[in-house]
Amino acid sequence: MRLCFLVNHIHSVARKSSPDPPPIVIVANKKDLEFDRMVTTEDGENLSKGLKLPFHEISARDSYEEAASVFHALYRAMAQLLSSSPTTFRRRAVSKLMEKIPRIHSNSTLGSSSQSFSFSSFRDLPQD
Ligand SMILES: Nc1nc2c(ncn2[C@@H]2O[C@H](COP(=O)(O)OP(=O)(O)OP(=O)(O)O)[C@@H](O)[C@H]2O)c(=O)[nH]1
């Protein structure tokens, strides 16, 4: 509940970037360790009902599909959110994000040692 509150609070502070609440899912991992359980399925379901958020009980050890399904659910929720936002809003949000990425020229060099690193500027990428 604290994490959910925190995510929503941070989002509301930055509300200029998006009016919709961010997608959140509740995930309980390690369900294979049945005898070491710290949270009952019922508690998870009650939290899910209380917060009106989807709940997944998974075991990353037993099944990668279960973990993948959590990310798919988040992806679908985010895609739905984006498809319901006007394109101009999306462009503006992306532009603002781009502003926060420091401009690094492709011939930049990091460090004084003989080792050097090159970067391409993110701003050169198409915004869509
Ligand atoms: N039995 C079991 N072990 C798991 C599962 N998922 C992760 N682990 C193990 O839990 C340990 C911690 O996994 P991490 O991926 O490092 O997770 P973490 O969030 O950094 O750490 P924890 O808070 O301990 O979960 C590792 O030894 C994993 O192999 C699971 O579904 N079942």
How far away, in angstroms, is 128 Cα from ligand 1 center? 36
With respect to residue 67, please indicate whether it lies within any of the assigned structural domains.
Answer: yes
Residues 6+ apart with CB under 8 A from 105: 119, 121
Hey, whose CA ends up nearest to atom 6 of ligand 1?
A: 60
**What stretches of the chain adopt beta strand conformation (E)?**
26-28, 55-57
Per-residue pLDDT of 42-79, as tens digits, reads 999 999 999 999 999 999 999 999 999 999 999 888 88
Q: Is the ipTM of this complex over 0.95?
A: no
Q: Decide: pTM greater than 0.90.
A: no
With respect to residue 92, please indicate whether it lies within any of the assigned structural domains.
Answer: no
With respect to residue 124, please indicate whether it lies within any of the assigned structural domains.
Answer: no
With respect to residue 100, please indicate whether it lies within any of the assigned structural domains.
Answer: no
In CATH, what number is assigned to the domain containing residue 12? 3.40.50.300
Q: Which domain holds residue 53?
A: 2-85
| Per-position b or e across 86-117, b if 16+ CB within 10 A of its CB | eeeeeeeeeeeeeeeeeeeeeeeeeeeeeeee
Q: Which of 97, 99, 115, 118 is nearest to 107 (CA)?
A: 118
- Count structural domains, the chain: 1
